[in-house]
Amino acid sequence: MYGSSNSRQLSAMLVELLQDQCPDCSVTYKDLARDPIAHLTQDVYLAYRRPEDELTPQQRSEKAVTDAHIEQLLASDLVVIGAPLYNLSIPTQLKAWIDRISQPRRTFRYVERGIVGLVSNVRVIIASSRGGLYSLSEEGRAKDFQERYLVTALKLLGISDIDIVRVEGVNMNAERRAEAHAKAQAAAQEIVAAILATRSQWQRDALV
Ligand SMILES: Cc1cc2nc3c(=O)[nH]c(=O)nc-3n(C[C@H](O)[C@H](O)[C@H](O)COP(=O)(O)O)c2cc1C
């Protein structure tokens, strides 16, 4: 089933390119479909909003899970996110990850004029796949709550270096799908080369 996934194909291609050109970079694979993160609940939410000594055992355990996802993100130089478009947005499994990593005082904080992100030195490449076409028209872009949401949510956490490699129109016909993948491959090569040109700034492990 996974063999036909366009976003998996894209993210795997990106990681392969990165590894080819950066053999000493280490990769951690995180599969949110096979190992789903429990969705946001009041215990997950309150774990970061109550004093430590007031947390229930359940909240403590949820906090430990959340902490692990945050530590993994903060220890990464580069995150490749496979993001299919589902019903105009991202899959709920990916949203569950965003809900975990978006925590006050760890990845963002409130200031007078709103919110400031606390995640620095992490780059992201979004491997986006879409059945239809969205990027080519004003009307299509207005319906984009997938890439636009992801970019906005990540920027809010302070992640500003975000590239998108996209295949769209993949469910329209075989020619369009093939063309989209060929274009994405070329774009991925350019993006990876540009990122690795700044390799001297890479000091830690890469997370995929
Ligand atoms: C549950 C579901 C919802 C989808 N919703 C949309 C949609 O709103 N718009 C669209 O263009 N394609 C939609 N698609 C098509 C997917 O975006 C497309 O098949 C994409 O390649 C899925 O990623 P994958 O190939 O990695 O599985 C949907 C597919 C599924 C399974």
Whether the pLDDT of residue 103 is over 80: the answer is yes
Query: What sign for the dihedral angle of Cα 112, 113, 114, 116?
Result: negative
Whether the pLDDT of residue 38 is over 80: the answer is yes
Confidence (pTM): 0.94
Span 115-125, mean pLDDT? 96
Closest-CA residue, ligand 1 atom 29, reads: 86
Mean pLDDT, the chain, integer = 94
Whether the pLDDT of residue 73 is over 80: the answer is yes
Can you give the residue ranges of every domain in the chain? 2-207
Span 170-195, mean pLDDT? 97
Q: What percent of the chain has pLDDT over 90?
A: 90
Ligand 1: residue of 130, 145, 166 to mutate (most ligand atoms within 8 A of CB) is 130
Ligand 1: residue of 8, 86, 88, 148 to mutate (most ligand atoms within 8 A of CB) is 86
Q: Is the CB of 9 under 6 A from ligand 1?
A: no
One of 3.40.50.1970, 3.20.20.140, 3.40.50.360, 3.40.50.1220 is the CATH number of 2-207, namely 3.40.50.360
pLDDT of res. 207 = 52
